[in-house]
Structure formats: structure tokens, C-alpha cells
Amino acid sequence: MSEASTAEKMNFQTEVKQLLHLMIHSLYSNREIFLRELISNASDACDKLRFEALDKAELFEGDGELRIRVDYDESAATVTVSDNGIGMSRDEVITNLGTIAKSGTREFFSQLTGDQKKDANLIGQFGVGFYSAFIVADKVSVNTRRAGLAADQGVRWTCSMGEDAAGEYTIESIDKAGRGTEITLHLREDARDLVNGWQLRQLIRKYSDHIIQPILMKKEAWDEEAKAQVKGDEDETVNQANALWTRPRNEITDEEYKAFYKHVGHDFAEPLAWVHAKVEGRHEYTQLLYVPENAPFDLWDRNARHGIKLYVKRVFIMDDAEKLLPTYLRFVRGVVDSADLPLNVSREILQESKDIDTIRAGCTKKVLGMLEDMATNAAEKYATFWQAFGNVLKEGVGEDFANKDKIAGLLRFASTEADTPDQTVSLADYIGRMKAGQEKIYFVTAESFNAAKNSPHLEVFRKKGIEVLLLSDRVDEWVIGYLNEFDGKPLQSVAKGGLDLGGLEDEEEKKAAEQMADEFKALVERFKTSLGERVKDVRVTNRLTDSPACLVTDDQDMGMNLARILKAAGQSAPESKPILEINPEHPVVRRLADEQTHFDDWATVLYDQALLAEGGTLDDPATFVKQVNGLMLAMQH
Ligand SMILES: Nc1ncnc2c1ncn2[C@@H]1O[C@H](COP(=O)(O)OP(=O)(O)OP(=O)(O)O)[C@@H](O)[C@H]1O
């Protein structure tokens, strides 16, 4: 007997143990999803075989009719889901059923709270998959053989668990005549009601009707003698078994669209919106694209799995077809079915394909159109979308030149209008509220919402009632870098350049400002001498009402917030010095005109304060503290 034929015990990866524990303890109220998940995997396995067999027909082993079967045995209390798809080799079983290799795994486990309801949602977002079998079963065995391997290369995987999650499974070699996978669930005491033909049919129709392969069950008939439904020998197909996206839109119910989403999106929750269209013309393709409600755990991994499945004439070609949508739309899930691409299309061919460029442009347009529609007609939904994916969509402003204006129109910001962190203001809303004479869209960027909201640069804007957008997401600096204007109105940082309020300032204010500049010329010079190399310039400003001073950067220099972000990310930022602006109306500034002994300390403290107020950190905080204390003592004398 070969070594592998004896059962071998193996340990689960720690994360699997944790996941199994969660399955049992948090998902029981959603127990029926196990069937949907196993059928979904069986369907994927059939898709994979069909694709691999395109240039290796022998993998079909003379049986090209792909199908899924659901069966049950009342006396043994088992439910079995089997398929004649691709199957798994021994190594594949160990990797696929003993480990989790998803990006976002660590993030997922770190967010679990122990609260069953919250955790159930998180598990849903993470993807339950095969392990959901353990919601209803205390023993699961998998018999599988990879297509193309000999019958004696079959593998059996078994795992039993009691009250608590098991730490190990066994694996052994078996003979398996037919290729594919057969999963048998030994149901827990409290799930035995599922061993019932009617129940199983109900579940299949509810959750798996759209599965492209037929799902077969044995036909049943009423047996008068036994007073029960009895299984016969004949098969029947329980689901519709056609490609949902090929059916006309008006014949598909919302429920069907939603159920299909859960299969393609590997999601637990319902989609937020979808778009289904057949494009005809030079390239013919069908697209069925969904926007999820929740962000997946790997959203921030720009290399994470993409959610579009590519089909060619209804034959599955590949998952994760990253060329079909730009990176900033990586949250979209769905299917694209092309009528023109060759069936043997590979990832390499896709890289070069003009057809793919057309499909990609078409899909991008459709998704952006769907978002515009949601923003206009379903504001609450759009707010949910924005919270989950707004920061990803923002990347598009810099990435997708052709659609920049469209994407800009979809952006939402916090602003001084509501003064809350909620990002609800569109650029169009802002323009609609602009004051008479206002020519620019004003914004401030900072590391946090509070730093933005309390920025001294906003003082004059608040006094005049001019709205300012409050940007505090890291990606905002990047967005602003690419977005110079919207609808003909330039975007202007309130912390850059001289304060030019254009038509918002009247003649009198301008004159008063000039007068102040004259009056404080000498003081400004003393600041310059005192601060020396630390500043590019010192000037009087009418930007401030409550603060004595603030720092700004020159129009063409890099903003200080961006410079800090780059530095924190270990990138080099060009050295640019700030300009110190002083508020001539402020009592501290006024009294400095007569200050002799401590002028240098005052100048440094005002500079450091201005730096702190706009979110910077001090190079030498101890000296700052000493100087402030020294000045406080000096004021007592
Ligand atoms: N019936 C099957 N036939 C062949 N391989 C299978 C089958 N069921 C599961 N697998 C393999 O096991 C892997 C893990 O399955 P699992 O359901 O846990 O995760 P998944 O389907 O990859 O992702 P998700 O958790 O998002 O559903 C699959 O990716 C697949 O390779």
C-alpha cells in the first residue's frame, strides 16, 4: 500500500480554526446559505473545467455535460453536493481546504468584536465559502479527483468537530471513477430538518436558480403506502440553468439579480445597484455590473482580486479580469460576456487587445452613469456608496483623464456649510451657493477633519460667510493635484498664495489692507530678520480674525500638508519654505511694535504656533515650551 493511502492527520492554519469557530457561533441564523456557497463553488469548478478543456478536450473524459447534483439520505442525516467540474489534486485540497490565502485576512480578524451580529456581517463581507458547511454539519467529508488524473488519484478530506471548532482534518487517497468533487455534510442534530427534498428544492430555487449548470435532484413522488415522498431513479433539473445575463432585462426579477450577485460577488449582503446592458455594434458584449454595499477587506490593496468575470459566448474564461475596468472601479463586481473575443484568449492577449479597450471604456461609462443616476435619484443610497467607496473613486480623478469631469461631479466633500465631517457636498452644490462676485472654489487640506475645520486660514472666509471645502483624507491631496477647475471655476487652496478674494472684497477693504501693510512695514522687517532662513517671506494679512499669525505657501510651491504626507510615506518632497502672515489687528501683534528685549522669542513662538495650528510638528518642542514660559514670566514684570 502506498504511504498516501493511509489517512494522515493535518493541522488547519490558525486563521481557518478561527473562521470555523466563528462559523459555528455567529452564522447559525443564516444557516441556509451553506447550500448556496457549496453550489457556487461547484459551479465555479465546472466553469474552470470548461475553460481548461478548451485546448485540452481529454479533460472531459468523454463526459462534457457539466452538472451539479444535490442529494440527501434521511437515515444517515446527510446532504451531498457533487459536481463533475475540475476537482482537486491532493496538494490543491491541502491548500484550498486547509488554509486561507486571501489578502485582507489579517484586517478581517482584527475587526472582529465578539458581538455575534456584527461579526456575522463581517464574515459575510470576508466571504464564507466552503467552511459554511460547518454551520449545519459536525462532520464534512470531501471526495474529489482532479480532471485528467487517474482514478486512483482521488482524495478524501474529512473533518469532524463537536461543540467547538476542530483543529485538524484527515486526508487520504481514494479511488474515484468520476472526476469532480462530492461534499457530504453530516448534519448536526438541530439541522436535521434540512434532510428533506422539499426544503432543499426551495433553497436551490431561492438562492441558486441562476446557476448556469443544471442542478439535479432525484424526482420524488408521493407513496401512498409509505405515506411519504419517495425518491425515484429519474433526475430532474431544479434550477433555471441558463446564463442570467443573456435573458432580457424585463424577464429578470430583482430577486434573481440579487441572488446572482451573491454568487458572482462572493458577497453575503445585497448589492446597492446594478446595470445590465447588451452592447451591439462593432463589438458585441453583454455587461451585468454591480456596486456592492460594503467594502471588502482588501479594498486598499490595489492589486487585490478584481471582481469581473469574463465570459466569451457564455463560456467562462477568467475571474479577476483586471483589464475590464480601471483600478479606481475595483469595487465593481459582475460579468462581461463578449461575442467577439476568441475563446482561447489569455491574460497576455487581453493586455494588448483593442476589443478589450473598447469593452473597458464601455463598462467604465456604464458604471459612472449608474453612479450619476444613483446620486441624482437615490441620495441616501449614494451616501452609503460614498462612505464605502468614495476614497477609491477619488483615485479616478488622476487616473482617468477622459472621465475626469464626470468623476469630479461624483465627488462629495465636507464643508464649512454644515461644519460636520459628513461628506455630502458636491462641487455643483458648492457652485450653486457661491456668493456674488466669488470666482473660485475654496478648499483647505489637513491631516484630520478637526485640523481642517479649525484652520486659521478659514477665519476671513467664515467672517464673510464664504463656504470652504474641508478636505482631510490622504487621497484628497492627490485629487486636488489633478483637479484644477470644475465647471469653469478654479479650485483654490486657502493656504496658498496671497489672499485674493477677487470680487468678494470691496474697494474700502483693499485700501485698508494696503494701509496696514504700510503701517506694519517696519515690524514685518524685524520678523524677517529674526526668523531668517526659516521663512520665504513675512507679510501682513487680512486672512485672519482670531489668530495672530498663520503660515501659507507660495502658489507654485508644494502645500505643507502634502509635503508632510510625502515625508511620512518616506518620499522626498522638494524643500519649500513657508510664508509667515501676521494679523495686524491682533493685540499680540500690535504690542510687538514696542517690544525690544524679547522680540526674537516672540517671533519664534508666533511662527511655531502657526505651524502647530496648521497641523505641523515642531522640530524642537522643548525650546518652544521654554520660550513660552519665559514670555509668560516676562509679562508678569
Ligand atoms: N467543488 C469544488 N471543486 C473544486 N474546487 C473547489 C470546490 N469547492 C471549493 N474548491 C476550491 O477551494 C477553494 C476555497 O473555497 P472557498 O469557498 O473557501 O473560497 P472561494 O470560493 O475561493 O472564495 P469565497 O470565500 O469568496 O467564496 C476554492 O477557491 C476552490 O479552489
Task: State pLDDT tens for residues 566-612.
Answer: 777 777 777 778 899 999 889 988 888 888 888 999 999 999 999 99
**Domains, the chain, with CATH or none:** 8-239 (3.30.565.10), 245-381 (3.30.230.80), 390-503 (3.40.50.11260), 507-556+570-636 (1.20.120.790)
Q: Was 104 annotated as part of a binding site? A: yes
What is the three-class DSSP state of 334?
A: strand
∠ at Cα 560 (558, 563), nearest 5°? 70
**Mean predicted confidence (pLDDT) in 177-196:** 95
Ligand 1 near 531 CB (within 6 A): no
DSSP H/E element including 237: strand 228-237
What pLDDT was estimated at residue 361? 94
Q: What residues contact 190, with CB distance under 8 A and at least 6 apart?
A: none
Q: Was 12 annotated as part of a binding site? A: no
Centroid of ligand 1 to alpha carbon of 96 (angstroms): 7
Ligand 1 near 16 CB (within 6 A): no
What pLDDT was estimated at residue 3? 47
Centroid of ligand 1 to alpha carbon of 545 (angstroms): 62
Bridging pattern class, strands 215-223 and 285-291: unpaired
Q: For residues 310 and 318, what is the distance between their CA atoms, to the nearest angstrom?
A: 5
| Distances in whole angstroms, Cα of residue 475 to Cα of each of 138, 482, 545, 600 | 47, 11, 30, 38
Contact 36, 204 (CB under 8 A): no
Mutate to test the pocket of ligand 1, among 19, 96, 108 (most ligand atoms within 8 A of CB): 96
**Mean predicted confidence (pLDDT) in 213-227:** 92
Ligand 1 near 307 CB (within 6 A): no
C-alpha cell at 586: 491682533
Bridging pattern class, strands 307-312 and 579-582: unpaired
> Would the CA dihedral through 606, 609, 613, 617 be positive or negative?
positive
Length of the chain: 637
Task: Give bridge partners of residue 156 from the DSSP assignment.
Answer: 143, 172
Place of cell 474515484: 176
Lowest mean pLDDT among 109-113, 291-295, 441-445: 109-113
Task: Give bridge partners of residue 315 from the DSSP assignment.
Answer: 312
Task: Give bridge partners of residue 144 from the DSSP assignment.
Answer: 155, 181
pLDDT at 407 over 90: yes
- Number of alpha carbons in the 13 Å side-chain half-sphere of residue 361: 9
Q: Was 37 annotated as part of a binding site? A: yes
Give the residue, by CA position, lying nearest to ligand 1 atom 8: 41
> Would the CA dihedral through 211, 217, 223, 226 be positive or negative?
negative
Give the residue, by CA position, lying nearest to ligand 1 atom 16: 129
Nearest ligand 1 atom to alpha carbon 85 = 3
What is the three-class DSSP state of 496?
A: strand
φ and ψ at residue 533, rounded to 5 degrees: -65, -15
Q: Was 41 annotated as part of a binding site? A: yes
φ and ψ at residue 79, rounded to 5 degrees: -125, 135
**What is the pLDDT confidence band of residue 2, given thresholds at 50, 70 and 90?**
very low
Q: Which residue has the higher pLDDT, 205 or 421?
A: 421
| Distances in whole angstroms, Cα of residue 450 to Cα of each of 206, 471, 561, 610, 614 | 48, 10, 14, 16, 10
**Per-residue model confidence as pLDDT tens digits over 287-342:** 999 999 988 776 666 666 668 989 888 888 887 777 899 999 999 999 999 988 87
What pLDDT was estimated at residue 304? 63
Beta-strand runs (E) in 302-345: 307-312, 315-318, 333-338
C-alpha cell at 44: 465555479
Task: State the amino acid at position 211 in one-letter form.
Answer: I
**Mean predicted confidence (pLDDT) in 68-72:** 98
Task: State the amino acid at position 70 in one-letter form.
Answer: V
Give the residue, by CA position, lying nearest to ligand 1 atom 27: 129
∠ at Cα 355 (351, 360), nearest 5°? 75
What pLDDT was estimated at residue 303? 62
Q: Was 124 annotated as part of a binding site? A: no
Which DSSP string corresponds to 549-598? EEEEB-TTSPPHHHHHHHHHTT--------EEEE-TTSHHHHHHTT--TT
C-alpha cell at 41: 463553488
Q: For residues 6 and 174, what is the distance between their CA atoms, to the nearest angstrom?
A: 10
Lowest mean pLDDT among 35-44, 104-113, 427-436, 464-473: 104-113
What pLDDT was estimated at residue 319? 77
Contact 434, 486 (CB under 8 A): no
What pLDDT was estimated at residue 57? 92
Q: How many CB atoms lie within 10 A of CB 269?
A: 15
